[in-house]
Amino acid sequence: MLKKGEPRLDTCWRKSRIAARILLREEAGKLTPRDVALGRKFAFDKGVTPRLIDQAIHGIRGKKNRLERERRAAA
Amino acid sequence: MEYEAKKIDWNANAGRQLDALARALPPHSQFDITVFGSAPLQLMIERTFLSEDIDLYSPEEHREFLEKFVAEKGWAKGQSDFYIQVCDPKAFRSTSDWRDRAIEAERHGHLFRFVHPWDVLVSKLQRLEEKDLEAFKLVIAKTGHPTEAEFINHLRSAVDLYRPKFDEETARGDMLMNTKILWKELWNKEIDVRAAIIRPALDRSRHDYEPDPNLKTRLANLKLPPK
């Protein structure tokens, strides 16, 4: 467990996941002013790469699909 | 042709020598020995295929012991007309997945891993001396395989061998040029190595890693939805 105040070593991945969520919200037409500001910031962040964003988008969509399947199976 | 452990010809020269080695090795720890070079061809395809040595290697922790052991038994280079050469693992270079095809056999409690004949051929293609070319002809004459198409596909798994060499490695030969010579010799054809082998292999390995390049542009141009 990471202690409070210690530097994280997965910031690129964490930022890319946030960027992915922002892009998914854009597709859903649900962007907020905060999303727009953060998205523009990430666009110029070297650690946030298309590869990581792409992985995150597929991961988030995959999780949604899995939960949907489980919900249907339980119904 | 199926290559299986039960078909290994332990009565061939290389087989008898390896059997003697297995019998003599200390039984208390299991040795893991990979056999490459011409010996697997002699053991699995044609017992009369001549070779003066058996090239093999073991994991690093056994290497020094094995070298000494072979020398003490009088089986090392210069000690016997049919000798065992304990090599560095890097001496054998072939397809990236050769281990999946290797034929494993236990002998007197030790594990012998024989490189599949097609992977032996790939390693020989890096040098392609007259004897190496004979090995190709032998394998194809005895088994009918690999065909031209099969070997193109097989070489795609060895694409890294086509990368430029260090200056210190020039003695190993030019894989690209050797492939062209091989095609002329075996199939009397020209081959465009880049188009037939290198590009398809690289495309296949890149396939999974091509994200949408516009994702960051989309982030930079985000706009709030109209109210």
Mean residue pLDDT across chain B = 93
Pair B215, A54: CB distance under 8 Å? yes
Judged by CB atoms closer than 8 Å, whether chains meet at A36 and B222 is answered as yes
Give this prediction's pTM.
Answer: 0.79
Higher per-residue confidence, B25 vs A5: B25
pLDDT at A58 over 90: yes
Q: Are B86 and B66 in contact (CB under 8 A)?
A: yes
Residue B124, token pair as written in the block: 């020989």
Which whole-number Å values give the CA distances from A66 to A23, A55, A72, B151, in the listed order? 20, 16, 10, 42
Confidence of residue B185 (pLDDT cuts 50, 70, 90): very high
Count of CA atoms in the C-beta half-sphere (13 A) of A6: 7
> Tens of pLDDT along A14-51?
999 999 999 999 999 999 999 999 999 999 999 999 99
CB–CB contact B216 A50 (8 Å): yes
Q: Is the pLDDT of residue B116 over 80?
A: yes
Residue B41: HSE in the Cβ half-sphere, 13 Å Cα cutoff: 29
Contact A43/B at CB under 8 A: yes
Determine if the peptide bond prior to B146 is cis (ω within 30°).
yes
Q: How far is B157 from chain A (nearest CA, A)?
A: 25
Any B CB within 8 A of A48 CB: yes
How far, in whole angstroms, is CA A67 from its chain's centroid? Answer: 17
pLDDT at A7: 78
Q: Say yes or no to pLDDT of B27 above 70.
A: yes
- Terminal Cα-to-Cα distance of chain A (whole angstroms): 36
- SS3 for B82? coil
| Other C-beta atoms lying within 10 Å of the C-beta of residue B24 | 14
Residue B38 neighbours by CB distance under 10 Å: 23
Q: The complex's ipTM?
A: 0.86
Contact A22 B219 (CB under 8 A): yes
**How far apart (Å, rounded) are the C-alpha atoms in residues B79 and B20?**
16
B222 touches chain A (CB under 8 A): yes
- The pLDDT tens digits for B118-156 are 999 999 999 999 999 999 999 999 999 999 999 999 999
Size of interface A-B (CB pairs under 8 A): 53
Whose structure tokens read 């032996």?
B120
Across the interface, whether the CB atoms of B220 and A44 are under 8 A apart is answered: yes
- E strand map for chain B: 32-36, 53-57, 83-86, 103-107, 110-114
The β-bridge partners of B83 are B53
Q: Evaluate if residue B207 carries a pLDDT over 70.
A: no
One-letter amino acid of B217: T
Q: How far apart are CA B49 and CA A36, in angstroms?
A: 72
> Looking at the predicted structure, is the pLDDT value of residue A3 above 90?
no
The secondary structure of A20-41 as a DSSP string is HHHHHHHHTT---HHHHHHHHH
- Local structure of B113: helix, strand or coil: strand
User: pLDDT value at position B170?
Assistant: 67
Which token pair is B23?
């019998």
Find how far residue B182's CA is from the centre of its chain: 17
Contacts of A51 in chain B (CB under 8 A): 209, 211
